[in-house]
Structure 1
């Protein structure tokens, strides 16, 4: 019943967004990918964000990076990174700058949050949102969508942190093993500089493909979206 409840909620949000002009309306009209889509045919958008903190209701979105994944391939030609201008009167990036390196001047030169949402909506149209610990990305993007349209951002989601968790037996949860870089190390993937939205999105995309290969190797039936979400 919980799954059907989520689907009803997504449908209501899509209906509401369908009245919006521009990229949000196009996104809603396209609908969400079919949950029975085979992994080889699946189109995803790996997304990472940098913020002033982890609370979407209190903290501010500063940058967004994304890269498309088409089936078993990462489409670098579609990769993009945008900096997001904080709202007027915001106190600034504060101590978070020591993590992501984004200064007040850097984000002030960015684009308005509503424009950033359009950029993401256009890139995400017809795709599954892919992220590592996806509630962060979904939370901040949904808050922004509510501010712009009054509706949540409905999306189908694959979370590489959740896929990493499933790779361990239920009684084993090694400390730190689910973090992005630890999960990548388990698959022999290279180390990149952390806390750059575009690089982190690429790192997530690479991890997903390694995880998918492992899942398919263990499975005796085709992997579809509903088995990844």
Structure 2
């Protein structure tokens, strides 16, 4: 009963265990726009584990014009889509015992929370201390150096460029999850060097 006063109960999280996650959607508002795809990759003690990577396109998503952003078409949804419950179960299994790692994490947690509500009838919530946001990390790093970034400066591709990471095509959930994991490693390595 008291846990409701302080947010969701704390999950058991293994030290150094993260799950980089990215979502592609038809817009920016959970509950209004649709989740199209989810991608994830584990990070274990600063090592990206590609063998644990996962990617799901959700069946039933109405992609429309958003395909021009993320490249997932209505045909992809029809051909490759899995039911929302199946996609969510795969994600929940992958995130078990891990902190969420994302670039602008409120997008991922918002849409995954809305999906959880659609599937199970209640919102999936994570505590603030169970989320690592590389966009926030980069903003703080820039501010410590006396640079005050504008929104565009914090986009994943620009952050990667600043850290000398290779360019990837944007807006594929799995590729962006891997890109986020690499940014995290670059940011934490830079911290250790200082």
Fold shared by both chains (TM-score > 0.5): yes
Aligned to 2:8: 10
For 2:5 and 2:134, how far apart are their aligned partners in 1?
21
TM-score (structure 1 length as normaliser): 0.76
Aligned to 1:153: 124
User: Which of 62, 72, 75 does residue 49 from structure 2 map onto?
Assistant: 75
Aligned to 2:181: 205
Contact 2:41–2:48 (Cα < 8 Å) also in 1: yes
Whether 1:63 and 2:37 are equivalent positions in the alignment is yes
User: Which of 65, 72, 86 does residue 95 from structure 1 map onto?
Assistant: 65
- Segments of structure 1 that go 5 or more residues without pairing to the other structure are 15-30, 35-40, 219-229
Aligned to 2:97: 126
Aligned-partner SS, 1:130: strand
TM-score (structure 2 length as normaliser): 0.89
Whether 1:143 and 2:114 are equivalent positions in the alignment is yes
Q: CA deviation at 1:63?
A: 0.7
Q: CA deviation at 1:172?
A: 3.1
**How has the CA–CA distance of structure 1 residues 165 and 7 changed in structure 2, closer, same or farther, with 3 Å as cutoff?**
farther
- Segments of structure 2 that go 5 or more residues without pairing to the other structure are none
Contact 1:61–1:86 (Cα < 8 Å) also in 2: no
Question: For this pair of structures, how many residues does the alignment match?
Answer: 187
Aligned to 1:174: 149
Runs of 4+ more than 3 Å apart:
none
CA RMSD of aligned residues (A): 2.1
Q: CA deviation at 1:215?
A: 1.9
Larger radius of gyration between Structure 1 and Structure 2: 1
